[in-house]
């Protein structure tokens, strides 16, 4: 069986599947919980409400999981370890100690 890359799946994702009688949902967590809804219009509405509730419980920064990460400015091909202000403060300390 092939393994899927789950990295694009958000942390609030719920897995849904159905059989002849019910719609099932597995809610991830420390102890995953499987719940079922009847396979009809009302059950589908309840399953969609579960998805909406899971999404609304998220903190605002995690809601747009497709947003690109913030751009890093590269120096010599690598991302900076510290900011320019931190670098200037460190150089001032080294100059004060007579190292630089």
At 70 the pLDDT is 66
**79 occurs within a structural domain:** yes
Strands 33-38 and 22-27: antiparallel
Rounded average pLDDT per 10-residue block, the chain, 100 residues: 61 88 90 93 93 84 69 72 87 90
**6 occurs within a structural domain:** no
Domain that holds residue 53: 15-97
Structure tokens at 12: 């609030």
At 23 the pLDDT is 94
**5 occurs within a structural domain:** no
**20 occurs within a structural domain:** yes
At 47 the pLDDT is 92
At 9 the pLDDT is 74
CA end-to-end distance (rounded Å), the chain: 59
**7 occurs within a structural domain:** no
**84 occurs within a structural domain:** yes
How many domains in the chain? 1
pTM equals 0.54
**46 occurs within a structural domain:** yes
**37 occurs within a structural domain:** yes
């Amino acid at each position: 069986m092939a393994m899927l890359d789950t990295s694009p799946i958000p942390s609030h994702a719920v897995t849904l599947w159905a059989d002849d009688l019910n719609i099932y949902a597995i809610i991830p967590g420390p102890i995953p919980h499987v719940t079922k809804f009847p396979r009809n219009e009302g059950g589908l509405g309840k399953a969609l409400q579960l998805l909406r509730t899971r999404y609304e419980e998220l903190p605002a920064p995690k809601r747009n999981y497709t947003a690109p990460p913030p751009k890093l400015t590269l120096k010599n091909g690598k991302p900076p370890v510290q900011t320019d202000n931190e670098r200037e403060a460190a150089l001032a300390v080294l100059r004060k100690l007579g190292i630089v």
